[in-house]
Amino acid sequence: MEESRIAPISVTWRGRQLDVDADPSCTVKEFGQLLQDLTSVKPETLKLIVPQSTNKGSKLITPFSDPHSRLTLNEADISEVRCG
């Protein structure tokens, strides 16, 4: 039986720092649903701004869109997020 690993993910939402525990193998959509429960942001407006460790930029992820919803947190390189 495979043991799931839970990792703390730092989320900034409306200036508040939230530490969200999530399995890195969960999908971006599942993570979006978790954030929805915490913030009450509607699915069509929830966007994640993910800082990139390789450069000083960031990428925009929409958790409920087809291109992003099936990615795992690991595949999307999500360890820190700003909700917008």
pLDDT of residue 4: 61
Query: Domain for residue 2, yes or no?
Result: no
Query: Domain for residue 56, yes or no?
Result: yes
Angle (CA) 68 73 76, round 5°: 55
pLDDT of residue 70: 95
Query: Domain for residue 1, yes or no?
Result: no
* Confidence bin at 80 (pLDDT 50/70/90): confident
- Rounded Cα distance between 50 and 35, Å, is 14
For the segment 33-38, the average pLDDT, to the nearest whole number, is 94
pLDDT of residue 79: 82
Count of Cβ atoms closer than 10 Å to residue 48 Cβ: 22
Structure tokens at 9: 């993910």
Q: Name the residue range of residue 64's domain.
A: 7-83
Name the least confident of 23-27, 64-68, 71-75, 76-80.
Answer: 76-80
Query: Total structural domains in the chain?
Result: 1
Query: Domain for residue 76, yes or no?
Result: yes
